[in-house]
Amino acid sequence: MTKRKIFLLVQSALCLLIAVLLASSAIRIYLEGSAYQAAGHPSEWIYSREKVAAALGPILPLVLASVVMTVIGLVRDIRDEDADQPVQDAELAQKLICARVFEPSEDMAKERALQKKLQIGGRAGFAVCMVPILFYITNAAHFAQADAEGLDRSILSLIAFIVPWTVVGLACLIITTLLQAQSMQREQSAASARIKEEKEAGIRKDPEAVKAESALYRTAPETAKRRVLMRRVLLVAAVCFIVAGFFNGTMKDVLVKAIRICTECVGLG
């Protein structure tokens, strides 16, 4: 492993650690502030500058170290060499190579059927895991306690119930996706062998037919350029509106409205 790779791994681990510490500090401040309000101080703010400053104190050295490493990486041009490489799309590669086959083989048909079953199974497993969550959040009895302490217990119970089911559902999707990728690779190997057989037998598919069946060639170059230009224009417009909203005070108005929604409409106040 090269020094460049070690530097990038350390920088990534440092950013991940900072994110975990910030999230845990925010949760800790909320729990302590909620408990303090429930103890007879309902007018006290849960989050304040003093509390945030105290929580950021131990994390500040890590943040400074991350900033220093970022500056060093920019100065010495330390970056991931694979970052500019195009993303390997297994499904697109599968379609491109299978489109060159004149008549799919039995192995290719089996792998294609297996991929459909895995896709349906993964989505069905995720949907089944979401059913208990739906029943839980639609049951008003789980959120009947209106005081601050009861609300905290309800939120913690909700998190404790949702997280395991969500993890299981995501695991179903991840496992089936990995199995699909392996099946696609096997289908590509079978397609390559089939192409070789057809080539030896003098059977070749028309290149224009291959392009017509491939989604990669269905979009005209002019259309692709217009789409890229439109995306860039929308991005620039979004940035301009964000900057304009920041300077004309809209950001503060949105923050105040969000606070009022949480404390009045939802009933957290």
Q: Are 228 and 211 in a shared domain?
A: no
Give the Cα-Cα-Cα angle 32, 48, 34 (nearest 5 degrees).
25
Rg (CA), the chain: 27
The domain boundary residue, chosen from 178, 202, 218: 218
In a domain, 184, yes or no: yes
Q: Which two tokens stand for residue 3?
A: 């020094």
Residue 83 pLDDT greater than 80, yes or no: no
Q: Are the C-beta atoms of residues 202 and 82 closer than 8 Å to each other? A: no
Q: Are the C-beta atoms of residues 193 and 181 closer than 8 Å to each other? A: no
In a domain, 83, yes or no: no
- Higher-pLDDT residue of 172 and 149 is 172
Q: Which amino acid is at 39?
A: A
**SS3 labels along 147-212:** CHHHHHHHHHHHHHHHHHHHHHHHHHHHHHHHHHHHHHHHHHHHHHHHHHHHHHCCCCCCHHHHHH
In a domain, 82, yes or no: no
Give Cβ neighbours of residue 101 (< 8 Å, ≥ 6 apart).
Answer: 108, 191, 194, 195, 198, 205
pLDDT tier for residue 223 given thresholds of 50, 70 and 90: confident
Q: Are 226 and 204 in a shared domain?
A: no
Q: Are the C-beta atoms of residues 204 and 101 closer than 8 Å to each other? A: no
In a domain, 247, yes or no: yes
Our separate counts of H helices and E strands in the chain read: 9, 0
Residue-level pLDDT at 102:
78
In a domain, 51, yes or no: yes
Q: Are 157 and 113 in a shared domain?
A: yes
pTM over cut 0.85: no
pLDDT tier for residue 137 given thresholds of 50, 70 and 90: confident
In a domain, 81, yes or no: no
In a domain, 43, yes or no: yes
Residue-level pLDDT at 177:
92
Can you tell me the distance from the alpha carbon of 134 to that of 119, in angstroms, rounded to the nearest whole number? 23
3-state secondary structure of 64: helix
Enclosing domain of residue 11: 3-75
Q: Are 111 and 135 in a shared domain?
A: yes
The DSSP-derived string for 105-129 is -HHHHHHHHHHHHHHHHHHHHHHHH
Give Cβ neighbours of residue 183 (< 8 Å, ≥ 6 apart).
Answer: 111, 114, 115, 118
In a domain, 130, yes or no: yes
- Which of 79-83, 128-132, 163-167, 242-246 comes out lowest in average pLDDT? 79-83
Q: Are 214 and 227 in a shared domain?
A: no
Q: Are 24 and 63 in a shared domain?
A: yes
- Which of 53-57, 141-145, 208-212 comes out lowest in average pLDDT? 208-212
Q: Are 98 and 212 in a shared domain?
A: yes
Can you tell me the distance from the alpha carbon of 34 to that of 39, in angstroms, rounded to the nearest whole number? 9
Q: Are 106 and 71 in a shared domain?
A: no
171-220 per-position pLDDT tens digit: 999 999 999 989 998 998 998 888 888 888 776 655 555 555 555 445 56
- Report how many domains make up the chain: 3
Can you tell me the distance from the alpha carbon of 228 to that of 19, in angstroms, rounded to the nearest whole number? 33
Q: Are 109 and 190 in a shared domain?
A: yes
How far are the Cα atoms of 243, 244, 266 from residue 238, in angstroms, in the given order?
Answer: 9, 10, 30
